């Protein structure tokens, strides 16, 4: 399990690296020390063979005394037991030596290193070891030439300084041993420090991984990361942490939105089915009655029934039209056909349409004198729908003998429109909901009028497509005012005047 964690992998890698570095260092140090020791030892004994040749009478009367060689060698070795002496002929074959008989395995020694040695080549030079096949040793050598023309070599193997293997060198060199212990100690310290630091770094990653797992386990609903923004460092892990934070917030928000949209959608389907079924059912009822009582109803009742059925069919038509309109506005691919138009004229035309209706209920419809107010810039067809919805609502909710006013002014470089009524108002707690689809403050009463609660949702959507928004102020039993602002376009005269300036 430990090796499956990032910390475990880093720890193993670090350990492996330090062991590799340490071993390489020790081997290299030992190799160079061995080389150095061999060199100095051979250097010291460079003239040893030549001195022995000079000192001891290996040549008697100009002739090399082979029979006496072994006795002479033994006396050499008494003086210096760390050397082995061999007498070689010109082919390198051993003619005499100072060792127990079985000890010498190699009867012939390569002459090439001896020639190099005699020629003064750089040391160390390794020669064959007659006692060990394949082993190389440092040596000293000197030629022996008799007057009879026979030539030999005195071959001295420097056995005393045993630097054959690295372990020998390690055993012998105190400085090297101390150096190695220091290196091992430093590497061990580096390992501990590295493990501690890796632990520090990976702890943040582990924490992030745990937070992410918890987030997944909570079905992407709860982000438990508690790192304050100020404490997040700007290294890669810090960036990862803050990206995860953003991501988690976004996911939570979007899931929330999805849930809300889903629940809205379900509500909407329920509302639509209800609002379609009610007028359809009563329309069917009246038409069936007419059919059943064909000719038996008096013409006045018959007409009443027909009118009711027609009203329901209008209501159905309006509902379907509004639903289509909302779907079209929501689809996102609607293109606004923006033009330059007078909002005052548009409001005036719409008011004419509702004039009769208002008069019947004793309501006064008024529009302020908006001469000089700049033209609006927008989709005239859609803005007409906005004004119709607002004026129709105002008239519907206005008290008898009340007033509905449309006030158009110029504000902050735009055309500001207010539709105010002296009606029953909307309770403050309902204000935030009246723009929701199918939301009606008094559902029962509104249903009777054939309205479905889509008007303000359409108004809000159209204005948001124009980059604007709708505001509402209302006081219960005093009245309600809806307002919005549209972008302004200067009238032609104003435009030419401003360019002249």
Least separation in angstroms between residue 368's CB and ligand ATP is 18
For residues 395 and 363, give the distance between their C-alpha atoms in angstroms, rounded to a whole number: 7
Instruction: From 73, 127, 131, select the one nearest 98 (Cα to Cα).
Output: 73
Terminal C-alpha separation, the chain: 81
Tell me how crowded residue 384 is: count the other CB atoms within 10 A of its CB.
16
Choice from 58, 434, 463, 489 touching ligand ATP (CB under 6 A): 434
Query: Binding partner of residue 453 among ligand ATP, Mg ion, none, CB under 5 to 8 Å per kind?
Result: ligand ATP
Q: Supply the Cα-derived Rg of the chain in whole angstroms.
A: 55
Instruction: From 429, 409, 430, 412, select the one nearest 420 (Cα to Cα).
Output: 409
Closer to ligand ATP by CB, 87 or 426: give it.
426
Query: Binding partner of residue 480 among Mg ion, ligand ATP, none, CB under 5 to 8 Å per kind?
Result: ligand ATP
Query: Binding partner of residue 379 among ligand ATP, Mg ion, none, CB under 5 to 8 Å per kind?
Result: none
For residues 378 and 488, give the distance between their C-alpha atoms in angstroms, rounded to a whole number: 9
User: Could you tell me if 387 and 496 are in contact, meaning their C-beta atoms sit under 8 angstroms apart?
Assistant: no
Asked if residue 393 binds Mg ion (CB under 5 A), the reply is yes
| Angle separating helix axes 343-360 and 380-397, nearest 10 degrees | 30
**In this structure, is the dihedral angle defined by the CA atoms of residues 225, 228, 233 and 239, taken in order, positive or negative?**
positive
Q: Where are the beta strands (DSSP E) in 375-446?
A: 375-379, 403-411, 414-421
Query: Binding partner of residue 351 among ligand ATP, Mg ion, none, CB under 5 to 8 Å per kind?
Result: none
Burial class (CB in 10 A: 0-12, 13-18, 19+), 216: exposed
Asked if residue 455 binds Mg ion (CB under 5 A), the reply is yes
Least separation in angstroms between residue 464's CB and ligand ATP is 15
Closer to Mg ion by CB, 171 or 427: give it.
427
Given the rule CB under 6 A, which of 69-77, 104-112, 129-137, 435-443 is the region that contacts ligand ATP?
Answer: 435-443
Asked if residue 441 binds ligand ATP (CB under 6 A), the reply is yes
Choice from 440, 461, 485, 486 touching ligand ATP (CB under 6 A): 440
Given the rule CB under 6 A, which of 25-33, 57-65, 155-163, 387-395 is the region that contacts ligand ATP?
Answer: 387-395
Query: Binding partner of residue 452 among Mg ion, ligand ATP, none, CB under 5 to 8 Å per kind?
Result: ligand ATP
Under DSSP, the state recorded for 5 is S
Closer to ligand ATP by CB, 346 or 394: give it.
394
Name the residue with tokens 């209501």.
Answer: 315
For residues 215 to 254, the per-residue mask of contacts with ligand ATP, x marking binding by CB under 6 A and - elsewhere, is ----------------------------------------
Given the rule CB under 6 A, which of 21-29, 202-210, 365-373, 433-441 is the region that contacts ligand ATP?
Answer: 433-441
Query: Binding partner of residue 128 among ligand ATP, Mg ion, none, CB under 5 to 8 Å per kind?
Result: none
Per-residue HEC secondary structure of 41-106 comes to HHHHCCCHHHHHHHHCCCEECCEECHHHHHHHHHHHHHHCCCEEEEEEECCCEEEEECCCHHHCCC
**In this structure, is the dihedral angle defined by the CA atoms of residues 112, 116, 118 and 124, taken in order, positive or negative?**
negative
Closer to Mg ion by CB, 415 or 452: give it.
452
Q: CA angle, corner 283, sides to 279 and 288, nearest 5?
A: 150
Least separation in angstroms between residue 455's CB and Mg ion is 3
- SS3 (DSSP) at 472: strand
**CB-nearest residue to ligand ATP:** 455
Least separation in angstroms between residue 203's CB and ligand ATP is 56
Asked if residue 451 binds ligand ATP (CB under 6 A), the reply is yes
Tell me how crowded residue 25 is: count the other CB atoms within 10 A of its CB.
15
Least separation in angstroms between residue 427's CB and ligand ATP is 10
For residues 91 and 152, give the distance between their C-alpha atoms in angstroms, rounded to a whole number: 9
Closer to Mg ion by CB, 173 or 389: give it.
389
Least separation in angstroms between residue 372's CB and ligand ATP is 28
Considering only residues 452 through 491, tell me which ones interact with ligand ATP, judged by CB under 6 A. 452-457, 480
In sequence order, the β-bridge partners of residue 403 are 364
For residues 125 and 406, give the distance between their C-alpha atoms in angstroms, rounded to a whole number: 115
Asked if residue 453 binds Mg ion (CB under 5 A), the reply is no
Considering only residues 393 through 432, tell me which ones interact with ligand ATP, judged by CB under 6 A. 393-394, 397, 421, 423, 426
| Structure tokens, 411 | 């504000």
Considering only residues 302 through 331, tell me which ones interact with ligand ATP, judged by CB under 6 A. 322
Least separation in angstroms between residue 213's CB and Mg ion is 51
Considering only residues 394 through 423, tell me which ones interact with Mg ion, judged by CB under 5 A. none
Q: CA angle, corner 195, sides to 192 and 200, nearest 5?
A: 130
**CB-nearest residue to Mg ion:** 455
Query: Binding partner of residue 454 among Mg ion, ligand ATP, none, CB under 5 to 8 Å per kind?
Result: ligand ATP
Name the residue with tokens 């475990």.
Answer: 8
Closer to Mg ion by CB, 169 or 456: give it.
456
Least separation in angstroms between residue 266's CB and Mg ion is 23
For residues 428 and 430, give the distance between their C-alpha atoms in angstroms, rounded to a whole number: 5
Name the residue with tokens 């509902």.
Answer: 319
Instruction: From 31, 18, 32, select the one nearest 183 (Cα to Cα).
Output: 18
Asked if residue 440 binds Mg ion (CB under 5 A), the reply is no
Interface residues toward Mg ion, by CB under 5 A:
393, 455
Interface residues toward ligand ATP, by CB under 6 A:
322, 389, 393-394, 397, 421, 423, 426, 434, 439-442, 446, 451-457, 480
């Amino acid at each position: 399990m430990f090796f499956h964690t990032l910390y475990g992998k880093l720890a193993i890698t670090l350990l492996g690296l330090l062991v590799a570095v340490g071993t390489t260092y020790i081997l290299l140090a030992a190799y160079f020390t061995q080389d150095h020791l061999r060199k100095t030892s051979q250097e010291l004994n460079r003239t040893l063979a030549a001195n022995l040749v000079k000192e001891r009478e290996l040549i008697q009367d100009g002739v090399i005394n082979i029979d006496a060689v072994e006795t002479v060698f033994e006396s050499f070795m008494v003086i210096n037991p760390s050397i082995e002496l061999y007498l070689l002929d010109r082919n390198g074959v051993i003619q005499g030596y100072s060792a127990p008989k079985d000890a010498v395995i190699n009867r012939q020694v390569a002459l090439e290193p001896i020639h190099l040695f005699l020629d003064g080549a750089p040391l160390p030079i390794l020669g064959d070891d007659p006692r060990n096949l394949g082993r190389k040793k440092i040596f000293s050598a000197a030629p022996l030439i008799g007057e009879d023309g026979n030539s030999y070599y005195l071959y001295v193997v420097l056995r005393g300084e045993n630097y054959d293997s690295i372990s020998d060198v390690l055993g012998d060199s105190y400085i090297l041993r101390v150096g190695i212990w220091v290196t091992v100690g430093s590497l061990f310290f580096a390992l501990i420090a590295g493990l501690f630091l890796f632990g520090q770094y990976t702890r943040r990653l582990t924490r992030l991984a745990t937070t992410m797992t918890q987030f997944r386990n909570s079905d992407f609903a709860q982000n438990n990361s508690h790192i304050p923004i100020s404490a997040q460092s700007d290294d890669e892990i810090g960036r990862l942490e803050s990206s995860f934070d953003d991501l988690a917030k976004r996911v939570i928000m979007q899931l929330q939105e999805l849930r809300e949209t889903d629940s809205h959608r379900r509500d909407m389907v329920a509302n639509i089915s209800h609002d379609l079924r009610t007028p359809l059912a009563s329309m069917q009822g009246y038409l069936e009655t007419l059919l059943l009582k064909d000719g038996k109803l008096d013409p006045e009742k018959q007409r009443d029934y027909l009118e009711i059925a027609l009203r329901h069919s209008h209501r159905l038509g309006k509902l379907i039209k509004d639903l289509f309109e909302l779907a079209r506005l929501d689809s996102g691919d609607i293109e606004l056909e923006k033009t330059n138009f007078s909002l005052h004229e548009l409001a005036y035309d719409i008011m004419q349409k509702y004039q009769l209706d208002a008069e019947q209920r004793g309501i006064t419809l008024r529009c302020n004198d908006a001469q000089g107010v700049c033209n609006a810039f927008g989709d005239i067809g859609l803005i007409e729908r906005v004004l119709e919805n607002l004026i129709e609502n105002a008239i519907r909710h206005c008290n008898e003998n009340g007033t509905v006013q449309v006030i158009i002014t110029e504000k902050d470089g735009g055309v500001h429109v207010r539709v105010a009524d002296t009606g029953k108002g909307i309770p403050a707690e309902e204000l935030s909901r009246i723009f929701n689809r199918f939301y009606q403050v008094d559902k029962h009463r509104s249903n009777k009028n054939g309205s479905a609660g889509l008007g303000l949702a359409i108004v809000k959507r159209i204005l948001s497509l124009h980059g604007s928004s709708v505001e509402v102020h209302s006081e219960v039993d005093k009245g309600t005012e809806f307002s919005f602002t549209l972008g302004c376009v200067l009238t032609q005269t104003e435009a030419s005047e401003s360019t002249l300036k």
